[in-house]
Amino acid sequence: MQTYFSDLLVIGAGLSGERIAVEAAGAGFGVNVLSIVPARRSHSSAAQGGMQAALGNCAMGKGDCPDVHFADTVKGSDWGADQEVARMFVDNAPIEMRQLAFWGVPWNRVVPGKSTFFKGGEKFEKIEEEDKEGLITARAFGGTAKWRTCYTSDGTGHAVMCTLDNRCAQLGINVFDKKEAIALIHDGANCLGAVVRCLKTGVLEAYVARATAICTGGFGRIYKATTNAVICDGGGHAIAMDTGLVPLGNPEAIQFHPTGIVPTDILVTEGCRGDGGTLLDVNKERFMQIYEPEKAELASRDVVSRRMTEHMRAGKGVKSAYGEHLWLDIRHLGDKHISTKLREVDEICQNFLGVDPRVDLIPVRPTQHYTMSGIRTNKDGAAYGLKGLFSAGEAACWDMHGFNRLGGNSLAETVVAGGIIGKKIAEFLQGHEVNFPTKTIRDALLKQQSRIDALIAGKNGRENVYRVREAMQDALMDGCFVFRNGKDLEKCVNVLQEVMERAKAVGLQSSGIGANPELSAALKIQGQVKLALCIAKAALERKESRGSHTREDYPERNDRDWLKRTLAYWPEGARLPRLEYEDPTPYYELPPGERGYGGGKIITADAEKIAKLTIKPGAKPAEAAKAKTAN
Amino acid sequence: MARNLQFEIFRYNPQDPASVPHMQKYVLDETENMTLFIALNRLREEQDPSLQFDFCCRAAICGACAMVINGRPNLACKTKTKELPDEITLLPLPVFKLVGDLSVDTGVWFRQMYDKVESWVHTSKAFDPAALEERMDNAVAEQVYELERCIECGCCVSACGTARLRPDFLGAASLNRIARFVVDPRDQRSDKDYYQIIGNDEGIFGCMGLLACEDVCPKGLPLQNQLGFLRRRMGITALKRLFK
């Protein structure tokens, strides 16, 4: 058995993982990074849009500052965000973008002079200032008051990923690829590393470390329809939950996007609808105006997803070998518009569907897109429940997104949080001593080896892992997708509990030798069903509608009873998660109010309680604490 | 009428002493808008769970799924079955170490390349968090990005005549990487520094100009232009060394 030691073990080599690694290595600590795929293939590299940071360099971003960014983020979160965290994020984002520029990201820059842009199909003019020439520029994104999204053409994630991975190579950080963590090693109080399966040889190895950071991204793949890469399967969340000590924050907070293409659920941009594209049903008729007379196709992501689902439920969906879908029609926009303004959509249609959007309709359906949910951490990125365990990025519930994430805030979070939390981990490592009992390490390894042996021998049963996974995905799609209600959620929970019994009885059909993919799937299926049950059970309990969580039977946002964060624990041997709740934020810089879009009734919180927790806008955490004591 | 597709797939598990390299036949009914991503996953989930292949983004952004499809390296995720004949032959990429079946180890190859070409911005400056970012011309930033679009799928390397003959050849992806830093004003390396890395047969002078790298690049990168660009610069650097 091979054992590797380092000060810090980072599980996941996407942007947040590598950003943490760079920070800790820069402070002089030894870092090992694990990745299921070569680092640059991480899902971070698929992000196209950009990163929000209030630099205020471009004409349409004039007057922008962290305070405006803060307000957008908190409103966007439907007041589910931790405002102390959101403040740290917006204040650090501009510095982080500059640091990335220094390391080599080719951000697009301000070009002075007159230029035109489109908004709602209309043409406008803007003039970029001479004295801003060559500074980092920005583009517009939904839900933001200013143009704030820094970008590199349509490949921001890829460009930043290359830069950070280069930085890792420069610092000599070991990035081990094709390695999958299948369990955490811990002594009940301290996290000591992970048991890792090599995806080249199938051999188990131990990676021990004084601190461990889980940065494995979202878990969209537990849904059947998702925009996520195939590696975003919840593996990191599962090993944290398996300890029984670490909770998942807000599992019910899952974001859906209206236009994933069928069959592969690759995203086509919101720009299609923004530029005048329409949604059609099985009869090739428009329907959005029936539900949303004013905004029609231009309603927000969550609203359009809901209406599409409703329409398909009413029997107006198009049947296909891959399930029901609707049509997106951009034919009328014409060749010129499609080949210039929607080039990427054109390429996706041609490459993956063999469809020409000038003459053909595009098959689309609402699709899982982002998990606001994640491993619950405090503002330093330290996970609840185990000392020495950290998490950042989409894998974590840090929690700056609350119940709805704004475009451009996810990619920015990966690096900004990675930088902040990397620093905190370095501080932690300074003063942290821990024992590594060889027995604890050996026991952890033997436990995983016996799991593998049992799966290969079919000792638990002969269930097919792919059929079980399908049953889990179907249950979530049926009961816990865009719309939720008490009846369907209860059914979903029940079905998933049956699926869990089947997951426990999985046995391999193949030999399991080497980098066997069936074994990879089998090792994580129980963890995935646990995650699914956390989502369904937390959604069943949350009797209100907030952000992406929409209850048909409780349509109002209920601040009186539900201004709180869900914590889902999975004690060993339990059949359901244990749910606890905590306040979403230590104080309010921005007290709960209307978001300014999306509508909906609000049941207000106790005004006195909110007033007590409210601090002066822009006050820093330290001042806030002082203000609180003074009160 | 839906077709029945015949797949001939290379099989070998180097970890299994009983395994011998061979081709295995599978049959699958074609569905609408089918890609090799869908087909291979169906084969694994419905017929043969031991089948090894790599996919990640399945949207032609990450480069994980490169393989030799009917004789030509390409990304499996963006290959539609309707563009292929009834018989489809799939082989792993050559040059890279085989992990199993259609899966190869590109990660180690590329990481060694980063170390060899020192794939990072070389500068003597220090970052000042309190200062504005250093200004850059937008056209230059876009030029850098155009060269950074490489997804490290390995198609160019596996299609390269020189790389097949000599394992130490850097290949088009690496030379493109060097070009990325040559055009970046933040990198303070001189042509002489780059000459130390690529001014030999392992680098720019090893290329036989067969053009396959550019032919098979799934991102359509102008790899031959970069080779030409570097060859000129390195040629001039070599001449300067001769007459110094």
Q: What is the ipTM score, two decimals?
A: 0.96
Q: Are B129 and B226 part of one and the same domain?
A: yes
Please indicate if any CB of chain A lies within 8 Å of the CB of B63. Answer: yes
Q: What count of CB pairs under 8 Å joins A to B?
A: 204
Residue A461 corresponds to which tokens in the numbers above? 């049963």
State the nearest Cα–Cα gap between B232 and chain A, in angstroms. Answer: 25
DSSP H or E run through A5: strand A2-11
pLDDT band at B243 (very low <50, low <70, confident <90, very high): confident
Which stretches within A104-253 are classed as H helix? 156-170, 235-241
Query: Which sign does the torsion angle of CA A264, A265, A270, A275 carry?
Result: positive
Render the burial of A125-159: b for 16+ CB within 10 Å, e for the rest: eeebeeebbbbbbbbbbebbebbbbbbbbebbbbb
- Claim to verify: residue B137 and residue B19 sit in the same structural domain: no
At A581, list the tokens. 């709740």
Domain edge (last residue) among B104, B125, B151: B104
Q: Do A109 and B49 touch (CB under 8 A)?
A: no
User: Which run of H or of E encompasses B68?
Assistant: strand B66-69
Q: Best interface-test mutation with B: which of A128, A179, A230 has the largest number of B CBs within 10 A?
A: A230
* A231 vs B48, B56, B78: nearest CB: B56
| Residues of chain B contacting residue A511, judged by C-beta atoms under 8 Å apart | 16, 50
Average pLDDT for chain B: 94
Q: How many residues does chain A have?
A: 631
Strands of A506-614, DSSP E: 557-558, 565-569, 578-582, 602-603
Confidence category of residue A616, pLDDT binned at 50, 70, 90: confident
List, in order, residues 6 or more apart from A261 with CB less than 8 Å away. Answer: A267, A268, A348, A349, A352, A353, A362, A363, A364
Closest CA to A153 of B120, B181, B143: B143
Q: Average pLDDT for residues A619-623, to the nearest whole number? A: 58
- Assess whether B123 and B231 both reside in one domain: yes
Q: Would residue A369 show up in a list of annotated catalytic residues for this protein? A: no
Measure CA A86 to chain center. Answer: 16
User: For residues B167 and B183, what is the distance between their CA atoms, to the nearest angstrom?
Assistant: 28
Q: At residue B69, what are phi and psi to the nearest 5 degrees?
A: -105, 115
| Residue that finishes a domain, picked among B104, B135, B153 | B104
Same domain? For B118 and B41 the reply is: no
- Rounded Cα gap, residues A193 and A188, in angstroms: 13
CA distances from A1 to A177, A207, A483, B16, B165 (A): 18, 11, 48, 19, 37
Q: Do A515 and B120 touch (CB under 8 A)?
A: no
Residue B129 and residue B88 share a domain: no
Judge contact between B49 and A510, C-beta under 8 A: yes
Q: Model confidence over A78-135: pLDDT tens digits?
A: 999 999 999 999 999 999 999 999 999 999 999 999 988 877 667 789 999 999 999 9
Amino acid at A208: V
CB pair distance less than 8 Å for B107 and A266: no
Which residues in A lie closer than 8 A to residue B33 (C-beta atoms)? 262-263, 352-355, 363
**Chain B nearest C-alpha distance from A48 (Å):** 10
Whether residues B94 and B196 share a domain: the answer is no
- Using DSSP's 3-state secondary structure scheme, residue A275 falls into coil
Q: Which of A87, A257, A307, A469 is catalytic?
A: A257
| Structure-model confidence comparison of residues B209 and A189, the more confident one | A189
Give the gap in angstroms from C-alpha A167 to the nearest C-alpha of chain B: 6
Check which CATH number belongs to the domain holding B120 and give it: 1.10.1060.10
Contact between A211 and A7 (Cβ < 8 Å): yes
Looking at residue A341, its pLDDT comes to 76
Are B125 and B86 within one domain? no
CB contact under 8 A, B105 and A37: no
With contact defined as beta carbons under 8 Å apart, do A178 and A515 qualify? yes
Closest partner CB to A104 (pick from B137, B142, B186):
B186
Single residue among B104, B130, B152 that ends a domain in this structure: B104
Residues of chain A with Cβ-Cβ distance to B62 below 8 Å are 37, 40-42, 45-46, 229
CATH assignment at residue B43:
3.10.20.30
pLDDT digits (tens, 9 = 90+) for A471-504: 999 999 999 999 999 999 999 999 999 999 999 9
B86 and B203 part of one domain: no
Tens-digit pLDDT profile for residues B198-216: 999 999 899 988 889 999 9
Reported confidence tier of residue B101, pLDDT bands at 50, 70, 90: very high
Same domain, B159 and B221: yes
| pTM metric for this prediction | 0.95
**By three-state DSSP, how is residue A546 classified?**
strand
**Known catalytic residue at A502:** no
Q: Is A444 left (phi over 0), alpha (psi -120 to 50) or beta?
A: alpha
* Structural domain containing residue B42: 4-104
Beta bridge partners of B10: B23
According to the model, what pLDDT value does residue A118 have?
75
**Quick check: A109 and B135 CB within 8 A?**
yes
Longest dimension (CA), chain B: 72
Whole-angstrom distance, CA of residue A43 vs CA of residue A157: 9
Partner-chain residue, chosen from A103, A104, A321, that has the shortest CB–CB distance to B32: A321
Q: Are both B51 and B121 inside the same structural domain?
A: no
Is the Cβ pair A101, B133 closer than 8 Å? yes
Write b or e for each residue in A91-103: b if 16 or more Cβ atoms lie within 10 A of its Cβ, otherwise e: bbbbbbbbbbbbb
Choose among A285, A448, A310, A446: nearest CA to A366.
A310
Question: pLDDT digit string (tens) for B151-164?
Answer: 999 999 999 999 99
* Burial (Cβ within 10 Å: 0-12, 13-18, ≥19) of residue B108: middle
Q: Is the pLDDT of residue A516 over 70?
A: yes
Q: Is the pLDDT of residue A630 over 50?
A: no
**Is residue B25 located within the same domain as residue B128?**
no
Same domain, yes or no: B72 and B135 = no
- Residues on chain A touching B15 (C-beta within 8 angstroms): 201-202, 513-515
In total, how many domains does chain B have? Answer: 2
Band (A396; pLDDT cuts 50, 70, 90): very high
From residue A263, how far is each of A47, A297, A474, B42 by CA, in Å?
20, 22, 15, 13
Phi, psi values for residue A278, rounded to 5°: -125, 160
Burial grade of A625 (CB within 10 A; 0-12, 13-18, 19 or more): middle
